Structure 1
Amino acid sequence: MLRAHVWHPGHGTSEDIHNHRSPLASYVVRGALGMELYEPMDPGAGEGVAAAWYRESLTGDEGDWLLEPSGDARLRLVQSARYTAGSGYALPPHVLHRAWCEAEWPTVTLFLETGAGRRRYTDVFLGAATGDPAGRAVAKKRLDVDDYLAELAALADLLAEDPAD
């Protein structure tokens, strides 16, 4: 599955630490993307990042997201990177990471998820300030054809803009 991601600048726009169901590859088309990689630690360790661990799976006919609690976790930052336009990266499904826009203007990436070796769930790690989404299904926003075409037109306009303007 190939998707375009638009990352917006600003404080608080990074993702939660997570992994994926399948291997992925991503290419930065415009802007810059910051990324951190993490590894799990003993939850009783005094160092690292404390987080609540959830398993995210798909539920219902619409395939909405369901977050179910899996316990407390502690994660260690193992790598920080910056990817600029023209660069890319690949991640196996188990790698814990989070990403954010590292540019002053929107960043666009192409994201390819292969589906090979697909797992049934994704691990998601939320900080204490994020709240408790346990057991709640989060509806996916479905686009009709007109909305989908409008989003593609907006993406084309964004890609045609000069970021320096």
Structure 2
Amino acid sequence: MHGPASPGWLLVALCAATGAYCLLRMRSTVEEQRRAAGGEALMGFGMAAMAVPAAVLAPPRWAWLVYAAVFGAAALRALWAARNGPHHLHHLMGAFAMAYMAAVMATAPGHHHGSGGSGAPLLTATLLAYFTGYVLLSGVRLMSAPLLTVGVGSRTASLGWGDRPELARACRLSMGIATVAMLITL
């Protein structure tokens, strides 16, 4: 799943920074936002771990199986949460994509990263199409979204770091971009 080392490290940094911000979002006063931020933090840190360049660390087969199990469990949790509304379906797609990529890496002969031709081409193409569309749509939404402030009497107070919807959208966008990059190299 890994290509050259420099883009790999950039992907690791992007995903780790996203995971760290999602941990900050868990301090929100809104229960639903805290719950979503926890799942997104798991995705960000998990993606960072999976994106470490193979030249530095080539995980053994059992590590890929652990990733597949963790992301599979996250996908089941998102599937269960999707009964409360369709906004959980994207989390389901993300967790499923990560479980799928980890399973492909666990079954890859010799565990060579970035060798291409691994996995089910139709499923990989479907996931790639979904996440490419998600990235494009999210980018448009992020560009058109105004920065939100909350009015307090005659003065305006900014929302806290954990409650900034445009930053949450930017994190989701960056994880979508990372997923596209990882799927391309699969």
TM-score (norm 2): 0.23
TM-score (norm 1): 0.25
Q: Which has the higher helix share?
A: 2
Greater relative contact order (CA < 8 Å, ≥ 6 in sequence): 1
